[in-house]
Chain A
Amino acid sequence: MTDISFTERDVALSSGSLHVRTAGKGRPLVHLHSAAGPRVSGVIEALADHHLVHAPTLPGFDGTAKHDSVTTIADLANLVAEFIEKECDGEADIVGEGLGGWVGLWVAVRHPGLIGQLVLEAPAGLRRTDLIALPANIDERLKLLHAVTANIPAETRAPQMLQDNRKVLQDYIQGVDFDEALVQRLGEIKSRALILMGALDKIIPRETGHILKAGLPQSHLTYIWGAAHAIEFDQPQRTSAIVLDFLDRGESFLVRQAAPAA
């Protein structure tokens, strides 16, 4: 992998300014972060070795300004769509972690012409709370994110910023754990989707993967062994390998390729 360096900039959109990290070259790809906020994982770096990766910070996260007109997950989807139209020549692949997967699904519903392929990593928004009860204590909940302790990224953000991130998240999701409206429209999604679930995930139930696999007309569900919820950090090599193969070969990724001749 070549050395990846991200440039940071603010992109002016109709609702306000969007902070974006960009690296790499090739086909445009938008990486949408999880509820933990924007973090550069080994997967993002691997993607940037093959794609032009844009990693926006959803408004309000990590101290960025919220946009007055962007208050819901669907609004975030419209904002991402506007970014793709403006900065990606009108089409990009989307890789979304958790919250980002939820936003990506709504982009695919509302703006099908802007999306190439869709990768959903343990997506939020389709979680029945009766299937997996989460501990009320935030520290206990955070422990459930990772299966590989050694791969937990060092937290450099101030506690207040993390607390503000959690508040912003609640503002967007408005108490919804299971987005019935989205489920009703999954069948409209034209993009081919790769659904990744951590085999050891204790936050998102397996049912979420089943709902998406059954509902998305062109989709593939894959479990990442050794990963809990934070797939990109627990198993960066396994995750990047399958995501890159899917993005590169589309449905042909089902077929194993022979190793190059020595």
Chain B
Amino acid sequence: MHFSFFHLMPWTELDEAPTQWPARNAPFRPERGTELYDTYLGTMAHAEACGFDWVGANEHHFSPYSLMANCNLVGAAMTQRTKSIKLAMLGNLLPLLNPVRVAEEYAMLDVMSGGRLVAGFVRGIPHEYIAYNVAPDESRGRMREALNIILRAWTEPEPFGWEGEFYQYRAISIWPKPRQTPHPRILMSASNLESAQFVGEFPSMVGLTLVSDLDVARSIIDGFLESARAHGRTPSPEDILVGQQTCIAETDEEAEEIMAKALAYFHGVLMRPQQDAQRIVIQKTRFFGQEGAGDYFMKRLQTLKGRTIKEQIEAGSILCGSPQTVVKQIKRLRQHLGAAHINMNMKLGNMPDTAVIKGMELFRDKVLPEVRAL
């Protein structure tokens, strides 16, 4: 199996939840922000020494739950702090961005890192569309078209133009091109069957996060596999990534206590303001094309928020416990979902950074040796 260390770069200093979206930024203190970035980048670089295969970052806007408006900047910093670990951008919110710019920045990261980029493309969560003033109804169409432009920008030997529905370019010829050929490994996320089928159209890994029910997650993965096969590919377990909020400590009790406090801050403070924005987008647009997908999205978040730590462990939503316990949980995911890649989000809410580092080292010393060969 393969493992990714993921960091959401949260703001840890809020005393109370913002009351509406977007969260006002008056409480942000730049000097503290500088300290956090330094700590977070150091933690992410440490993932290489802890045996992780990837170190991951992503993109969010207008929110204290993530200080990463552009994960490519984090990736650029990682190219200078690491030697061998893959740099997983998970990913750029493609429908919101200029696809040529994304192709260029990803190509830079791939060349700067010596060919270590994993190129994530995500449609994003609904409220991001308000932040960048893009119609949510267009998200799927923009995603599909932008992906085609980027794949061509990476692989075409001659300058080319593009006359499309959402994008028009008269000449594209990026410098640099990616180092990996024909292009870096691609990953796209899927939180529902519609997304999974979409991902299967492309030469891409699929990534699932916020699992609320293992059987539902399995059906989404099956949808990806079926779609990929229908498009002439033979996906393997290596093409399936499952994201898990993770806390590893010396004992189950200690891990559950750390996780409970961190998730209380994450759900109760950091995540609260965007709920209204999410609801508006889901109710008033066709962001989710398939009937019921929007309800499922909102219900999933509420379900996770309302569950105890033990209930979340049982549902397969999180990895939490002593090394021995987490090994069992990983084996269960491997067996039930057929996934050979787990993305561990180990900096949750205001979880102490010392606890994060401790968990990473327990993973290296006591978890990884037991699960690597699965």
Contact = CB atoms under 8 A, between A and B. Distances in A.
A225 B160 contact: no
A214 interface: yes
Interface string B150-177: 0010001111111111010011000000
B163 A213 contact: no
A173 interface: no
A222 B158 CA distance: 11
Of the candidates B162, B163, B164, the one having the most CB atoms from chain A within 10 angstroms of its own CB is: B163
B165 A226 contact: yes
A221 B159 CA distance: 7
A9 B156 CA distance: 44
Given A199-B148, A220-B171, A223-B152, A213 B162 contact: no
B290 to A, nearest CB: 22
B160 A213 contact: yes
A224 B164 CA distance: 6
A222 B157 contact: no
Contacts of A134: none
B145 interface: yes
A255 B169 CA distance: 10
Contacts, number: 56
A210 B170 contact: no
B157 A224 contact: no
A213 B159 contact: yes
Contact of B158 (A209, A253, A256): A209
Contacts of B145: 225
A159 B50 CA distance: 70
A49 B310 CA distance: 70
A70 interface: no
Nearest to A241: B163
B144 to A, nearest CB: 9
A254 interface: yes
A221 B152 CA distance: 12
A63 to B, nearest CB: 35
B162 A222 contact: yes
Nearest to B161: A222
A242 interface: yes
B165 A223 contact: no
A238 interface: yes
A238 to B, nearest CB: 5
Contacts of A206: 156
Given A199-B148, A254-B170, A254-B171, A221 B161 contact: yes
Nearest to A255: B170
- Of the listed residues A199, A223, A238, A255, the one surrounded by the most CB atoms of chain B closer than 10 A to its CB is A223
A239 B164 CA distance: 10
Contacts of A223: 152, 160-163
A256 B162 CA distance: 13
B148 to A, nearest CB: 6
Contacts of A224: 163-164
B197 to A, nearest CB: 18
A209 B160 contact: yes
A138 B323 CA distance: 63
A20 B170 CA distance: 33
A214 B157 CA distance: 9
A152 to B, nearest CB: 20
A221 B163 contact: no
Contacts of A209: 158, 160
Contacts of A256: 170
A225 B164 contact: yes
Interface in B170-192: 170-171
Contacts of B164: 199, 224-226, 238
Contacts of A210: 156-158
Contacts of B148: 199, 225
A30 B152 CA distance: 32
A214 B170 contact: no
A136 to B, nearest CB: 20
A225 B170 contact: no
A218 to B, nearest CB: 13
Contacts of A242: 161, 163
Contacts of B167: 225
A216 to B, nearest CB: 11
A225 B156 contact: no
A150 B152 CA distance: 27
Interface string A128-140: 0000000000000
Interface string B239-280: 000000000000000000000000000000000000000000
A20 B158 CA distance: 36
A235 B164 CA distance: 9
Given A225-B148, A225-B164, 15 more contacts: A199-B148, A206-B156, A213-B158, A220-B159, A220-B170, A220-B171, A222-B160, A223-B152, A223-B162, A224-B164, A225-B162, A225-B167, A226-B165, A242-B163, A255-B170
Q: Which 4 A-B pairs have CB atoms at the shortest separation, nearest pair first?
A: A225-B164, A222-B161, A213-B158, A254-B170
Interface of B: 145, 148, 152, 156-165, 167, 170-171
30 contacts: A199-B148, A199-B164, A206-B156, A209-B158, A209-B160, A213-B159, A214-B157, A220-B161, A220-B170, A221-B158, A221-B160, A221-B161, A222-B160, A222-B161, A222-B163, A223-B152, A223-B160, A224-B163, A224-B164, A225-B145, A225-B162, A225-B163, A225-B164, A225-B165, A225-B167, A226-B164, A241-B163, A242-B163, A254-B171, A256-B170
